[in-house]
Amino acid sequence: MKSLRIATRKSPLALWQAQYVADRLHAEGITTELVPLVSGGDTDMRPIDGSRQIGVFTKRIQQALLDDQADVAVHSLKDLPTEVDPRLMVGAVPQREAIDDALVSEETWTLDQLPEASRVGTGSRRRAAQLLNRRPDLQILPIRGNVQTRLAKLRDGDFDAIILAEAGIVRLQMHELRRVCLSRDVMLPAPGQGALGIEVRTDDDHAIDAVSQLDHVPSHAAVLAERRMLAALHGGCLAPIAALAEISGGQIALCGTVLSNDGRQRIDKQSSVAFDQPSWRSSAEALADQVSEGLLGEGAAELIQQQR
């Protein structure tokens, strides 16, 4: 069997994720090689906002698949646009890691303990809006770069605190980093946060069969529901939209939130349906449709449009 070429960004976290997938495939008897690439999002340090296209971290990796420079692409699923290219598919979602966001500061402040008008760094509208919803006094400032670059800016005093995904901290084994995980009633995660998406070409049966061995159905179902909800809202990766699906007690539940950029307006919706593992895909899709229709019925489309 031929070796699978795995396309990845060159950042430390992206390389860790790709090596994790490579190690999992190796355990299944499949040889691999990494194909490190530089994405547009790695070189352009301008704030990610409505003036820039979505997919800045993923398009180069996807193009490597389409150009047959690679057989597999590994993404942080929260960065992968929901628009479907019929030539590509998410062939597997390994078991999801830590889902929450962490408030990182030299003083290990909680959100309530942050001094008034503190400078908090984040490149995410979702995070910024939810912070302002709870603490409208905060100064939310843009920050770019990999985890190490952001931490250096915090240590240099550019910010009083920054927000990082707990999954990235854990994957990079930065266990001693001073941080406080934000509760989900304060900070609901991005759709797909904490999960990896393993993408392949739809006509590559060898790659499809290989990566399917890494698929964790409960994780795949949860992120499918979150991403389908996001797609129905036409929010892309830029609008302040949060979602979390979880499976428990034979049910799959989904919470969805849409906010204004300043955090003053917020629409929440949640629902659940029976989770049948053999038909997990239809269960997740039905749930996503329920929640997205509920959000749209309460004015989510108009709120999203106002933020563009």
- Tell me the three-class secondary structure of the chain, residue by residue: CCCEEEEEECCHHHHHHHHHHHHHHHHCCCCEEEEEECCHHHHCCCCCCCCCCCCCCCHHHHHHHHCCCCCEEEEEHHHCCCCCCCCEEEEECCCCCCCCEEEECCCCCCCCCCCCCCEEECCCHHHHHHHHHHCCCCEEECCCCCHHHHHHHHHCCCCCEEEEEHHHHHHCCCCCCCEEECCCCCCCCCCCCCCEEEEEECCCHHHHHHHHCCCCHHHHHHHHHHHHHHHHHCCCCCCCEEEEEEEECCEEEEEEEEECCCCCCEEEEEEEEECCHHHHHHHHHHHHHHHHHHHHHCCHHHHHHHCC
> What confidence score (pLDDT) does residue 259 get?
97
Q: For the chain, which residues score pLDDT lower than 70?
A: 1, 39-57, 236-238
Show which residues are catalytic: 79
Rounded to whole angstroms, the Cα distance separating 223 from 279 reads 15
pTM for this predicted structure: 0.91
Q: CB neighbours of 185 closer than 8 A, spacing ≥ 6? A: none
> What confidence score (pLDDT) does residue 136 get?
98
> What confidence score (pLDDT) does residue 49 get?
45
Q: Which domains does the chain have, with CATH numbers?
A: 1-94+195-215 (3.40.190.10), 101-181 (3.40.190.10), 217-308 (3.30.160.40)
Q: CB neighbours of 266 closer than 8 A, spacing ≥ 6? A: 133, 257, 258, 259, 260
> What confidence score (pLDDT) does residue 236 get?
66
> What confidence score (pLDDT) does residue 56 get?
56
> What confidence score (pLDDT) does residue 45 get?
40
What b-and-e string marks burial along 251-267, b requiring 16 or more CB atoms within 10 Å of the CB? ebbbbbbbbbbebebeb
Rounded to whole angstroms, the Cα distance separating 66 from 68 reads 5
